Structure 1
Amino acid sequence: MTHATRSVPGAPTSAAPCPSCQAPMSAHSFQRQLNGQVTLDICFPCQGIWFDEFESAQLAPAGVLELFRLLHQHHADLRQPWRDPLHCPRCRESLLHCLDNTRSGRFAYSRCPQRHGRYSAYSAFMIEKGFVRQLSGAEVEDLARRVQTIRCSGCGAPVDIRREHVCTHCRSPIVILDPDAVQSALDDFGKKAVRQQTLDPHALADALIANERARSQTRRQERNEGVDGGISDLVLGGIEMVWNLLRR
């Protein structure tokens, strides 16, 4: 395979098969810590990112924000369900399902047993980089009266938050993308802090429900049984609300 390169962060550079749908992924380059660039393969229909070994940790703060910008452009795309098993785009071996913990919560990903890299959903990347916070029990109960079922941001499983405050599949807590968490993450990255705002869970629920109503006809035609037939997860659902805080 021939790999082209470009110097503009976020510009397409190469292609590799998606671990799930096998369609060519879109390759984009982002700023690396110290110097150089990191090239990541992204499947927008599957909402997944392939990181070669150690690439996630090598992203510079500016690279993280540029990737956030790119994901924002595609955050409303209808996510197609992942196949099982997933396959490494480098060696074709089946990927192993894994869980990891950060202070922002637990997130799921799939890694190559030969250490070629790992495949992560958008939400897992957001959790890993600290762009989220965990909802309190009271906030979960309030959302449950309005939303009822969400998709786990850690593993993608459906969570009936009327009955559970954590995912019964991977035990991940209910997390949300919000401005305070974005500010905290940016402070950790050594970037200038964005202005403080409060994201009201009521407002988030209203926005998610309105978004679902606008797409209801399409979702009825294309939705898969279970996960993708319900409300989008709270991390991806909040991207539009906080993106203005990151615009320069």
Structure 2
Amino acid sequence: MTDANHPLPVLPTNGGSCPSCQAPMVVQQFERQLNGVVSLDICFACQGIWFDEFESAQLAPAGILELFRLLHQHHADLRQPWRDVLHCPRCRERLMHRLDSTRSGRFSYSRCPQHHGRYSAFSAFLIEKGFVRQLNGGEVAELASQVQTIRCSGCGAPVDIRRDNVCTHCRSPIVILDHDAVQSALENFGEKATRQQHVDPHAVADALVANERARSLKVREKRNGWLDDDVSDLVLGGIETVWKLLKR
């Protein structure tokens, strides 16, 4: 894993315009499987990552952890909503919305029809790589008594967890980023990068609830019926908590 105090360098912002906000994306290098590096284009304001074709699959375990560190570094950045129409930073074609599934849950992304790549939200990337686990009914009920409404980590739609146990938009289950899921995913990648220790998953959930209680959750309806950016994303909201556990 790359040392957290000495990450791979951030290159000049020459990776093209963000598919949503059109601002220049930051180019960051990550370790590639076998050898070399993968250069990813990232928009922290939109919390999105542009993967050229096959780049996501080419990331080495150490590269995935470095990206995880970078997402943790920016987890508290103000998130701006994506535009309804996204454009490929390579050819400017309109991106096509897609849904995919893993054992961790469903996630959405936007793909270039010319196969130049795809644009994924931070949460979608973490779901794709298996850094999450599904909450059981009791945990959802406990969370609902304090948080009420969350953002679906699969597609970004609001979910009233007092009423629904899955996203009514994409049918994704309620998932949370947690230490055991991170450990399991790293072992699947062939790299045990964390200490072998048992961490009570409820401790992660409790810490996340405490973080959410500290926020002022102002639920305001947007023009398209989705809630504003004060609605919580359990996956992104857990990055800081899990990162602290990984660094013990």
Relative to the length of structure 2, the TM-score reads: 0.89
| Contact 2:40/2:49 (8 A) holds in 1 | yes
Letter in 2 for 1:41: D
Give the Cα separation in 1 of the matches to 2:156 and 2:128: 15
User: 2:201 matched to 1:199?
Assistant: yes
Render the CA deviation track for 1:18-66: whole Å, top value 9, x for unaligned.
0000000000010000011100000000000000000000000000000
My pick for the range that moved more, 183-192 or 55-64, is: 183-192
Q: CA deviation at 1:229?
A: 4.1
Deviations 1:130-150 (A, max 9, x none): 100001111111111111000
**Which shifted more, 177-186 or 229-238?**
229-238
Instruction: Report the counterpart of residue 3 of structure 2 in structure 1.
Output: none
SS of aligned partner of 1:227: coil
- Please show how residues 79-228 of structure 1 align to structure 2 within 5 Å: 79-192=79-192, 193-194=194-195, 195-200=197-202, 201-210=205-214, 212-213=215-216, 225=222, 226-228=226-228
- Partner amino acid for 1:11? V
Cα distance in 1, alignment partners of residues 71 and 221 from structure 2:
22
SS at structure 2 position matched to 1:120: strand
What's the Cα RMSD here? 1.8
Q: Which amino acid aligns with 1:145?
A: S
Q: Comparing both structures, which one devotes a greater share of its residues to helix?
A: 1
Unaligned stretches of 5+ in structure 2? 1-6
Deviation at 1:224, TM superposition (A): 7.5
- Alpha-carbon distance in 1 for matches of 2:42, 2:235: 18
Equivalent residue, structure 2, for 1:9:
8
Q: Give the conservation status (yes or no) of the 8 Å contact 2:106–2:127.
A: yes
Q: How many residues align?
A: 234
Deviation at 1:188, TM superposition (A): 1.2
Q: Is 1:34 aligned with 2:34?
A: yes
1:110–1:120 contact (8 Å) kept in structure 2? yes
CA distance in 2, matches of 1:66, 1:80: 24
- CA positional deviation for 1:11: 2.3
Alpha-carbon deviation of 1:78?
Answer: 1.1
Instruction: Report the Cα distance in structure 1 between the residues aligned to 2:247 and 2:37, rounded to whole angstroms.
Output: 22
The one-letter amino acid of 2:150's match is I
Q: Quick one: distance in 1 between partners of 2:163 and 2:15?
A: 43
User: Does 2:70 match 1:70?
Assistant: yes
Residues 123 and 154, structure 2, Cα contact 8 Å, conserved in 1? yes
Gaps of at least 5 residues in structure 1 are: 1-7
CA contact (8 A) 1:95 1:110 kept: yes
Aligned mates of 2:141, 2:28 — CA distance in 1: 40
Match of 2:4 in 1: none
Tell me the secondary structure at the aligned position of residue 110 of structure 2: strand
Give the TM-score taking structure 1 as reference length. 0.89
Whichever residue aligns with residue 83 of structure 2, its letter is: R
CA deviation after TM superposition for structure 1 residue 189, in Å: 1.7
Alignment correspondent of 1:244: 244
